[in-house]
Copies of this chain bind each other. A is one copy, B any other.
Amino acid sequence: MARPEASPPRRPRGGSGSSQAGAFLSGASSIPTTTRGRRTRAALINAAREVFEELGFRDARISDIAKRAGTSYGVFYHYFDSKESVLDELFTSVTGDMYNASQARSKSDGDVVDKIRASNRQYLVVAARNAQLIAMIEELAYRDPQFRELKLRIREPFLLRNEAGIRRLQEQGLADPNLDAAMAASMLGGMIEHFTLLWFFHGVPYDEELAVETLTRLWAQAIGMRLDESGRLVQGAR
């Protein structure tokens, strides 16, 4: 017999089912109308970000967030349904930031390698900026399909961009035609992802310039280019 809930301990009350557009998780979070309300809500989101980064999502208690925001824990429920729903808001900003980074065109009018270098450098910048939150998503992705999808969704635009880039270079005769562009994009993308996490989140120390150069050289050579000792494309090497 299914759990019958004799005198139902919790009324469902429609609410939380209706999702906001673009909300990743539950997202049933009321938007305050007054200035004071807006300020409090913002304080909560901010506090949540800090607490999540310090303690991790699972170890973060609502009361930690509320305390950090300087409110009672009651207000939290005024603005959010649950921990999950603040997370939403946070993710919206990260995914947005990451997406923009994935779309950005380098303005450098250098050669192909310069473009790769610029792109790597840029990834490093956003990755550093969002390391904590990305690490959190990674962590949660290990147990929660919802977050696994989010993780994959975040990396997708980078993948597509990389794949397109490789394909274009292959067509131009600049990249190894024997490479499966999608697979290579996934692997090389993973290389950078993994590396930035190691560096920015796990605290393994690396030298920035060396990192950018090595990343760029590995990437470029992996797809079939040849770089001279100063990191410039050896023309006609392919």
Contacts and interface: CB of A to CB of B under 8 A. Distances in A.
A232 B179 CA distance: 13
Given A217-B178, A218-B179, A202 B141 contact: yes
Given A195-B190, A222-B218, A11 B179 contact: no
Interface string A5-38: 1111111011011110001011100000000000
Interface residues of A, number: 80
Interface string A118-155: 00000000000000000110111111101110011000
B17 A229 contact: no
Contacts of A61: 3
B195 A13 contact: no
A47 interface: no
Interface of A: 1-11, 13-14, 16-19, 23, 25-27, 55-59, 61, 82-84, 87, 135-136, 138-144, 146-148, 151-152, 176-180, 183-184, 186-188, 190-191, 193-195, 198, 201-202, 204, 206, 210-211, 214-215, 217-219, 221-224, 227-229, 231
